[in-house]
């Protein structure tokens, strides 16, 4: 499923109206009706009535939950006795988002739900399609109040439709908008947001102050980027994307290249065989050979986790290269692994002299993963440069190897035949980009896209809803995963999975995207197997692959 910015949404809107000749008011009608249907569904759930689903609902929900399979019988959306318990306040902004709310109000009323329109601004100031909807609502006799002029008691309503600000919002909500948002949040009533929660930056997921905290967001036409990026993703509640008559085929024309990472996107878009068929004639040589370079005296486990994850991801063979001094201690830790001694210092740390042996080892393997538990050492910049310029296959770079990169201008390094996958967490990303962690988190998709483009790498920006970006501008946002995965070593496991997939012949973008998806899925599964997700440890993710 595509992800769009507000700007791209305006472009799609414009093409639909101007070139296809579909009237704006028709889009608004569809939007409002879809929003009403979701509210009716919400009412049905809590009142136990019967709901109808009028226009064919497509699809989807940004949280990955399946919302299909509704009862589609009956003309009336709610039985009267259950609807009578409902009274919704419709918060109406000045623009088209408010227009959507006015349409929704009509359909709610048709379903027997009491509505009160709460205009943020005097209704006379509405223009265009929104003014048309204002007049229709008035002609229908819907009760209306103007904020600041009429008394308003949020305790009297059973739910709130937030149709204050949509993709036309600029900056933090001002004046009466801010007051209404604060009052709606304070009411404790369930809030359904039209398109995006008012106060949310539709592109970055940044939450302005104040920002609506929605139970449900009915996103219109295309999934807005901000709804998948934290902290906004947390303010949106359950996200439902509803078609409103803008053809999806326009996406190419507008150049959409950002996607919510789903099995369909992996399979059909990226060409990944998500079921991972194996040939009956296959053998260990068929599935590639990973070299993991990592693990040092105090962090040997990081290398071990990455290597084991590569095995569980399906790599035919995995060699773990580590300092000679550590080798005896890890013999038998994972009998399926091959171990390679690269020298190193007396304490079991890596040193610059290990580069030659690593190069020799990597020449006989399909992919090299470097960084987990590596530590830092004298001459490590030249050491990494040697690997970068001297290895031919793909290179996965993580942890301390990223910190080495962050301290140098590697754009001068010789270009390499194999691709490069970088897997920073937000702190490492901050060092790579030379900005603060807070700045990294402010617009994760945008930053990942820029960095990947400028540096010609596949970038995996880890964290809740990991972003995968490629040099050609394509990006994916992953939503598998579990808070229980916030535990030491989880990143090393991801590095191993990506390397393991690369060894099996996936290209770098496929391996990064599928690896992130599987890592999250395995984490969800592992969390579910614990008595409490807090007890999840990185090794559990490997075992759940
Ligand atoms: N396909 C579509 O795009 C469709 C979208 N619909 C809905 O329309 C909105 C976007 O509508 P637009 O009129 O462009 O903007 P808004 O309604 O979001 O708000 C503009 C309105 O608000 C004022 N304003 C802007 N920023 C602030 C602020 N920070 N504080 C206070 N006031 C602000 C501004 O002056 C304007 O008056 C989209 O999200 C959908 O919900 C269509 O209905 C269907 C087609
Ligand atoms: K809104």
Atom of ligand 1 nearest to the CA of 100: 43
What per-residue confidence (pLDDT) applies to 49?
62
Closest CA to 174 of 233, 229, 93: 93
Q: Please report which ligand is nearest the Cα atom of 128.
A: 1
Protein residue whose Cα sits closest to atom 44 of ligand 1? 28
> Ligand 1: does its nearest atom lie under 6 Å from the Cβ of 247?
no
Write the pLDDT tens digit of every residue in 441-466.
999 999 999 999 999 999 999 999 99
What per-residue confidence (pLDDT) applies to 82?
72
Write the pLDDT tens digit of every residue in 112-150.
999 999 999 999 999 999 999 999 999 999 999 999 999
Q: How far is the CA of 97 from the centre of ligand 1 (A)?
A: 5
Atom of ligand 1 nearest to the CA of 170: 26
> Ligand 1: does its nearest atom lie under 6 Å from the Cβ of 420?
no
Note if the bond before 231 is cis, omega within 30 degrees.
yes
> Ligand 1: does its nearest atom lie under 6 Å from the Cβ of 370?
no
Distance CA 509, CA 459 (A): 9
Instruction: Answer whether 177's CB lies under 8 Å from 20's CB.
Output: no
What per-residue confidence (pLDDT) applies to 270?
97
Tell me the binding residues: 96-100, 162, 166-172, 177, 195, 198, 302, 373, 425, 462-466, 491-492
> Ligand 1: does its nearest atom lie under 6 Å from the Cβ of 169?
yes
> Ligand 1: does its nearest atom lie under 6 Å from the Cβ of 97?
yes
What average pLDDT does this structure show over 246-271?
96
In this structure, which residues have their CB less than 5 angstroms from ion ligand 2?
Answer: 162, 193-194, 198
Distance CA 303, CA 309 (A): 10
pTM value is 0.93
> Ligand 1: does its nearest atom lie under 6 Å from the Cβ of 178?
no
Closest CA to 533 of 501, 486, 497: 486
CATH T-level topology, domain 3-247: Rossmann fold (3.40.50)
What are the boundaries of each domain within the chain? 3-247, 267-544
Distance CA 477, CA 339 (A): 35
Any idea what the Cα angle at residue 139 is, between residues 136 and 144, rounded to 5°? 85
Instruction: Answer whether 347's CB lies under 8 Å from 366's CB.
Output: no
Q: Which pair of structure tokens corresponds to residue 530?
A: 């614990």
Q: Please report which ligand is nearest the Cα atom of 197.
A: 2
Write the pLDDT tens digit of every residue in 157-204.
999 999 999 999 999 999 999 999 999 999 999 999 999 999 999 999
Note if the bond before 251 is cis, omega within 30 degrees.
no
Instruction: Answer whether 235's CB lies under 8 Å from 214's CB.
Output: yes
Atom of ligand 1 nearest to the CA of 196: 39
Distance CA 460, CA 424 (A): 6
Q: How far is the CA of 297 from the centre of ligand 1 (A)?
A: 57
What average pLDDT does this structure show over 295-313?
96
> Ligand 1: does its nearest atom lie under 6 Å from the Cβ of 195?
yes
Count the neighbouring beta carbons within 10 Å of the beta carbon of residue 483.
11
Q: How far is the CA of 110 from the centre of ligand 2 (A)?
A: 22
Question: Which CATH number is 267-544's, of 3.60.15.10, 3.30.1390.20, 3.40.1190.20, 3.40.50.2000?
Answer: 3.40.1190.20
Range of weakest confidence among 51-55, 209-213, 236-240, 384-388: 51-55
Instruction: Answer whether 270's CB lies under 8 Å from 513's CB.
Output: yes
Q: 319-328 as b/e, with b when 16 or more CB fall inside 10 Å?
A: bbbbbbbbbe
> Beta strand pairing status for 223-224 and 191-194?
unpaired
Instruction: Answer whether 451's CB lies under 8 Å from 432's CB.
Output: yes
Residue 157: C-alpha distances to residues 73, 117, 154 (Å): 28, 11, 6
Could you tell me which residues come within 8 angstroms of residue 188 by beta carbon, excluding any fewer than 6 positions away? none
Q: Do domains 3-247 and 267-544 have the same CATH topology?
A: no
What per-residue confidence (pLDDT) applies to 52?
47
128-139 and 24-47 helices, crossing angle to 10°: 50
What per-residue confidence (pLDDT) applies to 418?
95
> Does this complex have an ipTM over 0.90?
yes
Q: Which pair of structure tokens corresponds to residue 221?
A: 């036409």
> Ligand 1: does its nearest atom lie under 6 Å from the Cβ of 246?
yes
């Amino acid at each position: 499923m595509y992800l769009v910015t507000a700007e791209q949404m305006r472009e799609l809107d414009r093409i639909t109206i101007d070139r296809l000749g579909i009237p704006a008011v028709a889009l608004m009608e569809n939007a409002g009706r879809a929003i009403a249907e979701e509210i009716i569904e919400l009412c049905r759930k809590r009142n136990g009535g019967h709901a109808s689903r009028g226009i064919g609902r497509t699809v989807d929900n940004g949280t990955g939950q399946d919302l299909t399979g509704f009862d589609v019988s009956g003309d009336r959306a709610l039985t009267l006795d259950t609807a009578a318990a409902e009274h919704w306040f419709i918060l109406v902004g000045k623009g088209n988002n408010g227009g959507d709310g006015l349409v929704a109000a009509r359909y709610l009323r048709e379903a027997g739900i009491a509505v009160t329109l709460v205009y943020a601004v005097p209704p006379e100031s509405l223009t265009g399609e929104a003014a048309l909807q204002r007049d229709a609502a008035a002609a229908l006799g819907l009760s209306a109040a103007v904020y600041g002029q009429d008394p308003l008691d949020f305790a009297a309503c059973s739910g709130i439709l937030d149709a204050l600000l949509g993709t036309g919002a600029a900056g933090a909500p001002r004046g009466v908008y801010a007051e209404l948002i604060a009052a709606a949040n304070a009411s404790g009533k369930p809030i359904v947001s039209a398109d995006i929660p008012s106060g949310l930056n539709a592109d970055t997921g940044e939450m302005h102050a104040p920002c609506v905290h929605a139970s449900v967001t009915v996103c219109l036409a295309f999934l807005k980027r901000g709804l998948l990026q934290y902290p906004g993703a947390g303010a949106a509640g359950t996200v439902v994307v509803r078609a409103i008559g803008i053809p999806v085929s326009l996406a190419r024309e507008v150049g959409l290249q950002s996607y919510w990472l789903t099995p369909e996107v992996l399979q059909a878009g990226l060409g990944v065989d998500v079921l991972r068929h194996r040939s009956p004639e296959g053998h260990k040589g068929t599935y590639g050979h990973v070299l993991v370079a990592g693990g040092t005296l105090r962090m040997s486990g990081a290398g071990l986790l990455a290597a084991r994850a590569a095995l569980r991801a399906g790599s035919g063979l995995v060699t773990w290269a580590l300092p000679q001094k550590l080798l005896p201690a890890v013999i038998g830790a994972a009998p399926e692994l091959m171990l390679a001694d690269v020298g190193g210092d007396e304490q079991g740390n890596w040193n610059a002299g290990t580069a030659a042996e690593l190069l020799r080892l990597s020449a006989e393997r399909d992919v090299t993963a470097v960084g987990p538990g590596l530590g830092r050492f004298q001459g490590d910049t030249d050491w990494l440069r040697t690997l970068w310029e001297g290895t031919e296959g793909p290179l996965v770079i993580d942890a301390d190897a990223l910190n080495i990169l962050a301290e140098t201008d590697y754009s001068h390094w010789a270009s390499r035949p194999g691709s490069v996958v970088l897997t920073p967490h937000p702190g490492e990303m901050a060092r790579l980009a030379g900005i603060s962690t807070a700045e990294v988190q402010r617009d994760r998709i945008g930053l990942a896209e820029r960095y990947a483009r400028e540096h010609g790498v596949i970038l995996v920006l880890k964290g809740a809803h990991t972003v995968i970006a490629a040099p050609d501008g394509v990006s994916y946002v992953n939503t598998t995963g579990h808070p229980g995965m916030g535990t030491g070593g989880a990143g090393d496991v991801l590095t191993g999975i990506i390397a393991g997939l690369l060894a099996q012949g996936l290209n770098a973008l496929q391996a990064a995207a599928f690896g992130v998806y599987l890592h999250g899925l395995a984490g969800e599964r592992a969390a579910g197997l614990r008595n409490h997700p807090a007890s999840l440890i990185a090794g559990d993710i490997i075992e759940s692959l």
